Amino acid sequence: MTDTTADFHPLSAAAQPVFDTVRALNPNEPEFHQAVHEVLHSIGPVLERHPEYTENGVLERLIEPERQIIFRVPWKDDDGKLHVNRGYRVQYNSALGPYKGGLRFHPTVNISIMKFLGFEQIFKNALTGQGIGGAKGGANFDPHGRSEAEIMRFCQSFMNELFRHIGEHTDVPAGDIGVGSREIGYMFGMYRKITNRHESGILTGKGIGWGGAQVRTEATGYGAVFFVQSMLAVHGETLEGRRVAVSGSGNVALYAIEKAQQLGARAVTASDSSGYVLDDAGIDLGLLRQIKEVERGRIVEYAKRRPGARFVEKGNVWEVPVDIAVPSATQNELSLESAQMLIANGVRAVAEGANMPSTPEAVGAFQESDVLFAPGKAANAGGVATSALEMSQNASRQRWNFASSEQKLRDIMSDIHDSAFRAAESYGTPGDYVAGANIVGFERVADAMLAQGVI
């Protein structure tokens, strides 16, 4: 990825020196630069209204992680061959509570991506109001094509180092790309064996039968759709009858499709790295789940088995005319060119199901065209919000039913929307959810940092 931050909007006099320091101390980390620049640009008006943040060095402290951990993960495959991967945990900010953020297993994982995700997590978690700090971790391990035994051995080796850095009052990891309930289970088992303690609150995303929470699996996808519903409601609109494009076919995409269709919309796409499928009749969720979750197959299989659907190899899912777009695959997947196609085809709203899936140029295009745009730190906060609910249940040894948990998620997403909407209006950028979300998250963290002194 090319670092294009030189082409970004200018920063305020207080923020520019901080960003210059970020680039100098963290060279060749474009994803991290992009995430920091977006926040610093949004909070310019906040720094003018509240000079105490600048006077007390909040920005300088905020952009530097409290702790960065890099470690080796040795493991053997089924043939006895030794492999060594690199593991990470970036514990970014704990002013509001214990570090909280997912673990990603993917070959693209590097320190820039871990820091970008951890930095974003600070504000996303603050938006939930659940009292959790920001962190991210993972490894450059690819679970695809590996046996159950190989994945188990890798997870055990990963936890053999990570365990010393986490705790239910210190850092509570969860899943992310490549890390689902299976991987969480293997890591939890290893943590329990090493420590001789059954601390249910040490990881979230656990199985329902051993400390997990209802709706945690569905939460990120459901939450993104709830956010769209709130954005539309401001304008007296609903999801009923809308065409929806979703990218990806993992956990977030599957449940975004499910909730959109439950609310009367028609999701018509899904994708993976090989291309996308278009199903104008509406995605058959049962078939898609069978292929992706059970068979762990490629998206082309959907078109082979579903009459009327077609597969577009290496195609751009955003060329499909839709009313709503939910990018749910990976960072920077939606470019300016893609945004222009969506705008030309009349897209009404875009909600980021993944973390930073839209490039800065794409975001600018949506905002200039009056497309309702929900940034990931707001739209996909449902996952971590429900993780915090799982932590609450673990701490109190309670279990909530599905309906109750979903209603709590719906309430949290509505509150995030309303808080971001009000903040954007208060600072003179009505309807700008990027600015609103960044401002709310920043002010909550910054005020806690001021209250707790220089640490």
Final residue of a structural domain among 369, 388, 409: 369
Do 79 and 41 fall into the same domain? no
- Quick count: other Cβ atoms within 10 Å of Cβ 201? 18
> pLDDT above 90 covers what percent of the chain?
94
Report residue 1's pLDDT band, with 50, 70 and 90 as the boundaries: very low
Do 60 and 72 fall into the same domain? no
Do 32 and 72 fall into the same domain? no
Report residue 4's pLDDT band, with 50, 70 and 90 as the boundaries: very low
**pLDDT tens digits along 25-45:** 999 999 999 999 999 999 999
Tell me the residue range of the domain where 86 lies. Answer: 67-198
| pLDDT over 80 (residue 262) | yes
For residue 379, being part of any structural domain is answered with: no
Domain containing 337 — which CATH number? 3.40.50.720
**pLDDT tens digits along 168-178:** 999 999 999 89
Do 146 and 223 fall into the same domain? no
Do 166 and 274 fall into the same domain? no
Do 242 and 340 fall into the same domain? yes
**pLDDT tens digits along 394-412:** 999 888 999 999 999 999 9
| pLDDT over 70 (residue 217) | yes
For residue 409, being part of any structural domain is answered with: no
Structure tokens at 191: 């943590």
pLDDT at 116: 94
CA gyration radius, the chain: 21
CA 298 to chain centre: 23
pLDDT at 355: 86
Provide the mean pLDDT of the chain: 95
pLDDT at 296: 86
For residue 14, being part of any structural domain is answered with: yes
Report residue 7's pLDDT band, with 50, 70 and 90 as the boundaries: low
| pLDDT over 70 (residue 3) | no
- 10 Å CB burial of residue 289 (0-12, 13-18, 19+) is middle
Domain containing 455 — which CATH number? 1.10.285.10
For residue 387, being part of any structural domain is answered with: no
For residue 384, being part of any structural domain is answered with: no
**Average pLDDT of 201-217?**
93
For residue 340, being part of any structural domain is answered with: yes
Final residue of a structural domain among 369, 391, 413: 369
pLDDT at 6: 46
Do 51 and 78 fall into the same domain? no
Q: Which of 136, 259, 292, 408 is catalytic?
A: 136
**pLDDT tens digits along 425-435:** 999 999 999 99
Domain containing 136 — which CATH number? 3.40.50.10860
**pLDDT tens digits along 240-259:** 999 999 999 999 999 999 99
| pLDDT over 90 (residue 2) | no
Count the domains in the chain.
3
Do 55 and 100 fall into the same domain? no
Do 172 and 230 fall into the same domain? no
**pLDDT tens digits along 126-162:** 999 999 999 999 999 999 899 999 999 999 999 999 9
**pLDDT tens digits along 78-98:** 999 999 999 999 999 999 999
- Quick count: other Cβ atoms within 10 Å of Cβ 347? 23
Q: Checking DSSP bridges between strand 99-105 and strand 171-175, what pairing results, if any?
A: parallel
For residue 321, being part of any structural domain is answered with: yes
3-state secondary structure the chain: CCCCHHHCCCCCCCCHHHHHHHHHHCCCCHHHHHHHHHHHHHCHHHHHHCHHHHHCCHHHHHCCCCEEEEEEEEEECCCCCEEEEEEEEEEEECCCCCEEEEEEECCCCCHHHHHHHHHHHHHHHHHHCCCCCEEEEEECCCCCCCCHHHHHHHHHHHHHHHHHHCECCCEEEEEECCECHHHHHHHHHHHHHHHCCCCHHHCCCCCHHHCCCCCCCCHHHHHHHHHHHHHHHHCCCCCCCCEEEECCCCHHHHHHHHHHHHCCCEECEEEECCEEEECCCCCCHHHHHHHHHHCCCCCHHHHHHCCCCEEEECCCHHHCCCCEEECCCCCCCECHHHHHHHHHCCCCEEECCCCCCECHHHHHHHHHCCCEEECHHHHCCHHHHHHHHHHHHHHHCCCCCHHHHHHHHHHHHHHHHHHHHHHHHHCCCCCCHHHHHHHHHHHHHHHHHHHHCCC
Report residue 53's pLDDT band, with 50, 70 and 90 as the boundaries: very high
Do 6 and 27 fall into the same domain? yes
Query: What's the CA gap between 264 and 388, in Å, rounded?
Result: 29
Do 178 and 72 fall into the same domain? yes
Structure tokens at 332: 């920077």
Final residue of a structural domain among 369, 393, 412: 369
Whether 136 is catalytic is yes
Do 83 and 49 fall into the same domain? no
Report residue 8's pLDDT band, with 50, 70 and 90 as the boundaries: low
Report residue 5's pLDDT band, with 50, 70 and 90 as the boundaries: very low
For residue 381, being part of any structural domain is answered with: no
